[in-house]
Amino acid sequence: MKAIVGLGNPGALYKNTRHNIGFMVLDAFAEKHRLSFTPDKGEYYSVGSNLNTSHFYLYKPTTFMNLSGNAVLHILERNNIELDDLLIIADDINLPTGNIRFRESGGDGGHNGLSSIIYSLETNKFNRLRFGVGNEFEDGKMPNYVLDNFYENEKEIIRFGVGFSIKLIEKFILGGKKEMMNYYSNEINNLKKI
């Protein structure tokens, strides 16, 4: 079984902010596959289903970003999920808006949610999709920037990135990180030819 965790902050105040792109991707995935999140027994909302014969669960922690690791650890332990079957989706200020990168391990890149997960799991070796939200902010203004909504001129780029992320998640569910990485490489190479 695959577990896909989107990072974000709960509540209407944060709904369309840059920091909530993990939630936004999973909401779009759920909408495409006609799924609805419900409160779970842990500090998260979840929904499970199958893609072909591959079983998966989507999770949105309700712990707020800085404590995401608590929810992720509970998800893994409660469902006996291997790290290889976990995929985290998070915003990344170190990437241009809409750019997507896949990593199998690495540091937190200044992201409090990833930092919390690394701390709780006691490892940085877990799959993550990093969704670029840009870094058009002045020194000291990062918190305001990531907790603000996307600009109007970014919304089409974000829609494209969300759609690409949905495809990557589907590949991850169907064939694990290898199939997802193959698809990612092919698509990125095709884009470079345009």
Q: How far, CA to CA in Å, does 186 sit from each of 172, 176, 179, 192? A: 15, 16, 11, 10
Q: Is 111 a catalytic residue?
A: no
Nearest in space to 2 (alpha carbons), one of 80, 66, 107 = 80
Round to whole Å and give the CA distance between 2 and 9: 22
DSSP E strands: which ranges in 24-155? 38-39, 44-51, 54-61, 86-92, 100-103, 127-132
The one catalytic residue among 19, 33, 55, 111? 19
What's the angle, vertex CA 68, arms to CA 62 and CA 70, rounded to 5? Answer: 95
CA 107 to chain CA centroid, nearest Å: 16
Q: Do β-strands 2-6 and 86-92 pair in parallel, antiparallel, or remain unpaired?
A: parallel
Catalytic residue ranges: 19
